[in-house]
A and B are shown apart, each in its own frame.
Chain A
Amino acid sequence: MMPAEGSISTLVASLWLLNIVLDTGGQLAFKAAAGDPAAGDGLARWKHMASRPWLWLGVGSYVAEFLVWIAFLSLVPLSEGVLLGSINIVAIMLAGRFLFGEKLTRLRVIGIALVTLGVTIVGLGT
């Protein structure tokens, strides 16, 4: 049964978390696949990527994310779902910071804080 609007069930929360993990994991896997300096150019680059797990890990994550997102949205109002999903932007930037040493400028930190604040407000309002 569909939970009543106004209560976030464990299932909804789990699907939301799983979506973050799959989206971030997929992006990082694609980054690892595309950023491999040994890959070469053109067709050879694609062959190189296809022979390694990263590209496929990324594709697999995205397929799983597609299904998880459908399940998630079927349980929450769409307007709330897309707002809660915005946290993925934050997760990816933080992952880039920790795994690839990407710099977080002041403007980025402000942006991350605002998105997080917004998602928190929406989450608390459910």
Chain B
Amino acid sequence: MKRFYLLGFLLLMAFDTLAQISFKYAGTQALPVEASLAWLLRVFGQPWVYGAVIGYVGAFFTWMALLKHAPIGPAFAASHLEVVSVMLLSIWLFDEQLTLARALGALAIIGGIVCLGLAESREHAAEADADPALG
């Protein structure tokens, strides 16, 4: 069963990553940004925006399936840790730099997400064996 969860978490990250990469491609191809119908037509007139939709829909259903059984803490963390995969892929696909600010910021954010995931786990465990005598 553990392997099943792990696969689910990885799938969730993969869908989220696909969505973000697709957003970037879609946005870049629709430049310049303007609040106009022309911009909307440029966004929806190329395939990448549909990659983003597939990523979102896929992530949604994976998330729902995971939430039924998987522990909530790791699921929460997995649903936000795509920042790591997206950053690594951005360096490769878009020639972006891993600047010091981005690396340090990413470390703090990842640390924060792990803390929040742990918090979810603990609160859930506490609710599950809530003892009225202890409150």
Q: Which residues of A contact B (CB under 8 A)?
A: 1-2, 11, 66-67, 69-75, 77-83, 86, 89, 93, 105, 107-108, 110-122, 124-126
Kindly identify which residue among B33, B101, B123 contacts A121, using a CB–CB cutoff of 8 Å: B101
User: Are B33 and A71 in touch, CB under 8 angstroms?
Assistant: yes
- Contact present for A1 and B109 (CB under 8 Å): no
**Cα–Cα, bound, A33→B107 (Å):** 35
Contacts A82-B86, A111-B112, A112-B112 given; does A69 touch B23 at CB 8 Å: yes
Residue of B nearest to A1 (CB): B32
Smallest distance from the beta carbon of A56 to chain B beta carbons, Å? Answer: 18
Most chain B Cβ neighbours within 10 Å, of A70, A79, A122? A79
CB of A80 within 8 A of CB of B102, answer yes
Whether A83 contacts B105 by the Cβ 8 Å rule is yes
B70: interface (CB < 8 Å): no
- The answer to whether A78 touches B109 (Cβ under 8 A) is no
Beyond A78-B86, A80-B102, A125-B102, whether A111 also contacts B115 by CB under 8 A is yes
The CA of A21 and the CA of B82, in the complex, are separated in Å by: 22
Within 8 A of A (CB), among B77-121: 80, 82-83, 86-87, 90-91, 94, 96-102, 104-116, 118-119
A-B contact count (CB 8 A): 139
Interface size on B (CB < 8 Å)? 49
| Residues in A neighbouring B111, C-beta threshold 8 A | 114, 118
A79 to B112, CA, bound (A): 18
Contact B112 A121 (CB under 8 A): no
For the complex, what is the distance from the CA of A5 to the CA of B131, rounded to whole Å? 55
Within the complex, what minimum Cβ distance (angstroms) separates B76 from chain A?
A: 9
B107 and A118 form a contact (CB under 8 A): yes
Contacts of B20 in A (CB 8 A): 73, 78, 81-82
- B108:A114 contact, CB within 8 angstroms: yes
Across the two chains, which residue of chain B brings its CB closest to A114?
A: B112
Judged by a CB distance under 8 angstroms, whether B12 is at the interface is no
B116 touches A111 (CB 8 A): yes
Would B91 and A119 count as touching, CB distance under 8 A? Answer: no
Contact (A73, B33) CB under 8 Å given A86-B109, A121-B104: no
Interface-centre pick from B56, B97, B111 (highest chain A CB count, 10 A): B111
Q: Is the CB of B43 within 8 A of A124?
A: no
